[in-house]
Structure 1
Amino acid sequence: MSPEPKARIAARAAQELCPGEVVNLGIGIPNLIPEFLGPDSGVVLHTENGLLGVGPRPDDGDLDPDLIDAAKQPITALPGAAYFDSASSFAMIRGGHVDVAVLGALEVSAAGDIANWAVPGKDVLGVGGAMDLVVGARRVIVTMTATSSRGQPKVVAECTYPLTAAGAADVVVTELCVFRLVDGELRLTELLDGATVDDVTAVTTAPFVVTLEESHVG
């Protein structure tokens, strides 16, 4: 998959974030979101390995080996940033002090179940912080491509991979559209980059309701 759809997903997901929100960004597509947040966005980025107030990616000449995020990618710290240990960071997450978690997924079900930590038969490096984040954050945004590398739908009726959490997703952003979970119902609220409802239906096995009038269709 070319970088363009991933950037499109990240750019649209960035529009979901509001000034003053504390936001944790997961590995992969979520890590592209800072590129689409202006300097005056007011969004406060959190990394679970111990920094609140993450800044933009550093230039090659400004790398600090002591400043990395949970994906081990180099970061910067904004003025006034706070440093703390991982235990304190997870206390923030579990205590409901993170407003938004943005993360990738292998599958999301029609009920908002999320599977993103293990593929049966493949090595698992570790669960990571996803399970804590999706139940601790006040709002969960999933950013992922509409299909897997094998062309299999990722928005499905029921997850086949091990669950990270049940009913945790609030918003799902793919390169084709935006889904929202409202009152236990999966709603297609926005089409992206010229996609049609038929395009979305062709790569989605989950039942969904089309409510495009509720959102801008771009």
Structure 2
Amino acid sequence: MAKFIDSSEVCNIIKDGDTIFTTGITMGGFAEEVVMELEKSFLDKGHPRDLTIYFQSAVGNRGERGFAHIAREGLLKRAVGGHLMGCGPAMTKLSGDNKAEVFNLPQGVLSTMPRYIAARKPGVITKVGLGTMMDPRQLGGTMNQRAKDAEPIIDLINLNDEEWLMYKLPKVDIGLIRGTYADEKGNISMDKEGYKLGQLAMAQAARACGGKVICQVESIIQSGSTNPKDIIVPGIMVDYIYVAKPEYHWQTAQTVYNPVFAGEHRVPLESLPMEKLSPRKVIARRAAMELTPGNVVNLGVGIPEAIASVAAEEGVLDLFTLTTEAGGIGGMPANKHDFGCCWNADATIEMADQFDFYDGGGLDFAGLGALQISPEGNLNASMLNGGGIGVGGFINVAGGSKKIVFSLIFCGGLEADIADGKLNILKEGKIVKFKDEIEQVSFNGKLALEDGKEVLIVTERAVFKLTEDGWELIEVAPGVDMEKDVLANMMFKPIIKDVKQMPSSIFNENWGEMSELMKKKS
């Protein structure tokens, strides 16, 4: 039966060299007090040290919280996670300074990994990541030299004359999970959580390895208070439970608690703040034009988030089903540091189940960002200037969608004005994104075309379509000179055949044409 402890006791449970597998996305589902105690003990006593930590997504607030507490030389020997930059500068610096072995795996692989460990399977065998930086013929998921020098954690295998990747499974010493309530028998429920992050599978994985399960909760309640069907992790699978201080039990990285994210309330979506006219909104509008009624959609972080806002403003949000990789289905995805939660979700399923749906081809449309584009159709979304960012769910989402629209500012650092139905470039950006060579391959264009996918790039000044011969320039914004403003800012020349003008209406303060456009597609 579970034992109730104070969080300060975890350092007597976690030993030097242990492997910890934790739930978490932003600050949601993450047992923050444990890592704070680990940091304190390491700084005071030098122990525990040389830990390996596996994490599903970015854990932190991109600042001083979350994994910022444990991104220390000596404390961490190895970090294997879905996203690095979201964990904060301390994690990216630890990786860049080569102070620990740092690996980046797809969020979908890391989400499903605990249940494979729990069932004592040989590994996660999938095509997700083939031809990208996950492929051992490229980087094998490594983000720095120490990782490259370590034993590989991804193998290329052949089954039935087909290439597959096998992501190796760790032996879990500590399963670190979070819930809302624990009853007196240690049964865990998640009433106020914004996500389902595989807490049950994580507990089962640790138990299968002979490890221990530590759970952070908001409070203890009387046994029998919770409907048995609402118990997510039975107490027989939990070893230690502690009650966290409220300031270390936030629902997301920017929200202490929002009942809408927990599914307790709904709000009028029109009451949410809408995007202001800007290059970002123009891109989102043009990307939204690629949607078709009935589409099942995933929107990535950054500019793609604005596609949902545009659809809501245009009154067509109910024509599509928006989803989040954290398990949200329906409603409107939250943005910024609430990423992964949903306003007015129809359903919230396990993150691992959502990724199974994605990997199985369940998405019709993916709106994603990108950092660099190569002539042959590959994209980099995981490293910039040698600094590790990580792919998150990018590879799974791109791999599981029939149409992919990459949305980005054409040149980084752009200053522009939108007026009178056209784009006015005030100061050209200096960061070139269409490059001869890219730092990492996060998306393989050749394999995407072989899989029958439609791939577009939408920027504030130009639209490109991926063909077997490379990128074809198909649209240029009103007010833009194709030679001076587009081609001169690319390191390679795209295919140029029949270049049309981007719709001038999306450069106006009020658009109001998306509903009619969707009717024509119905």
What residue number does 1:76 align with? Answer: 343
**Cα RMSD after superposing both structures:** 2.4
Is the contact made by 1:141 and 1:172 (CA closer than 8 Å) also made in structure 2?
A: yes
C-alpha contact 2:301 2:335 (8 A) present in aligned 1: no
State TM-score, norm by structure 2.
0.36
Q: Which structure's relative contact order is higher, taking Cα pairs within 8 Å and 6+ residues apart?
A: 1
Aligned to 1:207: 493
- Give the Cα separation in 1 of the matches to 2:392 and 2:337: 10
Task: Specify the alignment match of 2:470 in structure 1.
Answer: 185
Answer yes or no: is 1:139 the counterpart of 2:414.
no
Aligned to 1:63: none
CA distance in 1, matches of 2:461, 2:391: 28
For the residues of structure 1 that align with 2:344 and 2:394, how far apart are their CA atoms?
23
Higher mean C-alpha displacement, 36-45 vs 104-113:
36-45
Given the two structures, how large is their TM-score scaled by the length of structure 1?
Answer: 0.82
| Structure with bigger gyration radius | 2
Q: Which residue matches 1:118?
A: 383
Does structure 2 conserve the Cα–Cα contact (< 8 Å) formed by 1:24 and 1:98? yes
The answer to whether the aligner puts 1:163 opposite 2:441 as a matched pair is: yes
Q: Which runs of 5+ in 1 are unaligned?
A: 57-67
Instruction: Confirm or deny that 1:91 pairs with 2:356.
Output: yes
- Retained in 1: the 8 A contact 2:328–2:342? no
**Match of 1:189, SS?**
strand
Deviation string 1:26-57 (CA, Å, 9 cap, x unpaired) is 0000011112213335121110000111327x
SS at match of 2:392: coil
Task: Say if 1:99 and 1:202 are closer, same or farther in 2 by CA, change over 3 A.
Answer: same
Deviation string 1:133-154 (CA, Å, 9 cap, x unpaired) is 1222112111011112361221
- Point out the more displaced range, 179-188 or 25-34: 179-188
Amino acid at match of 1:206: F
Matched AA of 1:53 = G
Change (3 A) 1:109 1:195: same
**Mean alpha-carbon deviation: is it higher for 25-34 or for 145-154?**
145-154
In the alignment, structure 2 segments of 5+ residues that lack a partner are 1-275, 414-428, 449-453, 504-522
**More helix as a share of residues:** 2
What is the percentage of aligned positions where both structures have the same residue? 30
Instruction: Report the more deviating stretch, 24-33 or 185-194.
Output: 185-194
1:180-203 C-alpha deviation (Å, 9 max, x unpaired): 012333111111232121111021
* Pair 1:174-2:459 in alignment: yes
Distance of 1:3 and 1:153 partners within structure 2:
24
Note the 1:27-38 alignment, pairs <5 A: 27-37=301-311, 38=314
Aligned length: 201
Write the deviation string for residues 148-197 of structure 1: whole angstroms up to 9, x where unpaired: 236122122332x2111211471001111100012333111111232121
Q: Is the 8 A contact 2:434 2:492 kept in 1?
A: yes
Q: Deviations over 1:111-147 (max 9, x none)?
A: 22110012254254x4310111122211211101111
